Amino acid sequence: MKFDWGFKTYVMGIVNATPDSFSGDGIMSVKEAVERGQRMAAEGADILDIGGESTRPGSEPISLEEELDRVIPVIQGLSQSVDIPLSIDTYKAEVARQAVVAGATIINDVWAGRREPEILKVVGETGAHIVLMHNRSNESEESQNEKLGGRYVHVEYAELLTDIKKELQDAVDAGLAAGIKKENIILDPGIGFGKTVEQNLEIVRRLAELKELGLPILVGPSRKSFVGYTLDLPPEDRLEGTLAAVTLCIERGADIVRVHEVSQVSRAVRFTDAVVRKK
């Protein structure tokens, strides 16, 4: 798929093929995951992002075999039943490789190639798109709340956006060196990954500064803890906060929004685009 950056905001629907998603929408059945993806496509999703391993604070890693068992059948099922791009949410090179064979055309790596650098070669060889996300997650800086879930505390940056831009540019340089075409790279500031509530709010406030890197931007504010802690609400009650974050991010230059509630967000996106996008 050729993306028309700048003329519309793309809605990426989240399909969690895992039982322990922070947002409470995790599922185990391949049939349920495929049906959820089909429903999201019907509701207006432009992209579906399939993930098999939770990235919430405090989550347990799973084996390569288990992740493949969770996601590959879902990608195969969706590739045969929907006509929109599929993304695989993984940092594992072999999962990415098999996902592309199964029908995925985007690799969404929350570690931007730092966990398994081989994934950058996979992207370069297959011609897939890649989302490179900024991530400073560290278990020692995690805090849990029974109602609101996990968040990061006491995370230090010399200067938040300057540091994020530098580390994303380093990831871009590594991707280019591995053979990835620049036009296939998408950047994600990593809302919720190694940032405090206040730092996440600052990312939304200053998102436009990331446009200086000259690449499309994906943001994932949906149901995140910074919304919950700001509003004192659990994940299932964060739709309004998510909509506000999505709208603000689009106004500040976001090209893709990664969300759980596709139907509601798609309406907000269409209206926001009517105001801020040049036709």
Closest CA to 106 of 117, 118, 90: 90
Catalytic site residue from 121, 224, 238, 252: 224
Judge whether 113 and 121 are in contact, CB under 8 Å.
no
Is the C-alpha dihedral spanning 216, 106, 220, 133 positive or negative?
A: negative
Catalytic site residue from 70, 92, 223, 258: 258
Q: Is 258 a catalytic residue?
A: yes
Question: Measuring CA to CA, how many Å separate 185 from each of 89, 118, 122?
Answer: 15, 16, 13
Q: Is 8 a catalytic residue?
A: no
Is the C-alpha dihedral spanning 65, 69, 70, 74 positive or negative?
A: positive
Distant-in-sequence, close-in-space partners of 31: CB < 8 Å, separation ≥ 6: none
Closest CA to 145 of 219, 226, 200: 226
Residue labelled with tokens 């580390």: 167
Q: Show the DSSP H helices in the chain as ranges.
A: 30-43, 64-79, 93-102, 118-126, 160-177, 197-205, 225-231, 239-251, 262-276
Distance CA 199, CA 193 (A): 10
44: left (phi over 0), alpha (psi -120 to 50) or beta: left
β-strand pairing of 47-51 with 10-16 = parallel
Active site residues: 224, 258
